[in-house]
Amino acid sequence: MTEELLQRLVSTLSTLPGIGKKSAYRIGFHLIRMEPQAFDQFLSNLKNFKESIRFCNLCGGLTETEICEICSSEKRNKSIICVIEQPEDILFIENTGEFRGKYHVLGGVISPIDGIGPEKLRIKPLLERLKEEPIEELLIATNPTLEGDATGNYLSGLLQGTNIKITRIAHGVTVGSTLEYADQYTLAKAIKARSQI
């Protein structure tokens, strides 16, 4: 019975990104050794996080309210939207201190091999925002992968003939990697050196 419970825990922990079987065992044994009060606090924090965090109704970023702090801020540059793949990309770009505009989370990239077409991404809400808001520039900051580039090119094609300047972060970010693994300096330089597409 003990082995079965441990295997179920390891199996569950292994579903988390970056957690393999060895790491899952280490985490599992750490959880077993935790003091009951610390373990209860850990579970409470996880539950509170899951119940409190939602997606911003406007940009798709993480928030505790309907509209996130960035979207509701009067201090942000309202004329530029940075298009990213996932909500966590906001954190990575914000940490550079180089971008002061607003964001739009697509929720992924176009990937025909994975069955993900434009209709499965948050492209329609982006187009609605571009009609309703005074946007002058769309900065595409998808990951420098084939799918990220294809998504950027797709968006650029949709917006041809508009007065919106379409730019892409410079490829100081290693091709094939994700923004999560780019250091702040490289990401800051890539934002500064963005180019029109």
Which DSSP letter does residue 112 get?
G
Domain over 2-52 is classified CATH 1.25.50.10: no
Residue 169's pLDDT band (boundaries 50, 70, 90)? confident
Per-domain residue ranges of the chain: 2-52, 59-196
Tell me the residue type at 117.
G
Q: Do 2-52 and 59-196 agree at the fold level? A: no
**What are the pLDDT digits (tens) for 11-33?**
999 999 999 999 999 999 999 99
pLDDT tens-digit readout, 105-161: 999 999 999 999 999 999 999 999 999 999 999 999 998 888 998 999 999 999 998
Distance CA 129, CA 159 (A): 13
CATH topology of domain 59-196: Dna Topoisomerase Vi A Subunit; Chain: A, domain 2 (3.40.1360)
Q: Where are the alpha helices (DSSP H) in 17-171?
A: 21-33, 36-52, 69-72, 88-94, 123-132, 146-158
Q: What is the pTM of this model?
A: 0.80
